[in-house]
Amino acid sequence: MRPLIESITARLEAATGNTVARIEYPDHVRLEVAIPAGLTDQNRGFLLSALADADDYGHDRADSEPEYVWASIKVEDE
């Protein structure tokens, strides 16, 4: 599962130009990244492609904070 997490992380960073936050839980890893203003259509497509490989994903927006997307990848006992 680690290669998938690393792949999604790298692609989210490449699409947004921002560092991905990684939060580890016992059963999954959550990746979060801020979406820059003015994201190009091409980079938006790269972003969506990376998210599609996750087990779950979402988009959060608050007036006081930047928009961000998150991806959740289930992990199995190794």
Span 29-55, pLDDT tens digits: 999 999 998 899 999 999 999 999 999
pLDDT at residue 77 tops 70: no
How far apart CA 48 and CA 52 sit, in angstroms, is 6
Q: Give the chain's end-to-end CA distance (angstroms, integer).
A: 9
Q: What is the pLDDT of residues 1-37, one digit of tens each?
A: 688 999 999 999 999 999 999 999 999 999 999 999 8
CA 49 to chain centre: 10
Q: Which range of residues forms the domain containing residue 64?
A: 2-74
Residue 35: closest CA among 70, 68, 11, 58: 68
Number of structural domains (the chain) is 1
Q: Which residues pair with 32 in a beta bridge?
A: 21, 70
For residue 62, what is the enclosing H or E element? Answer: strand 56-62
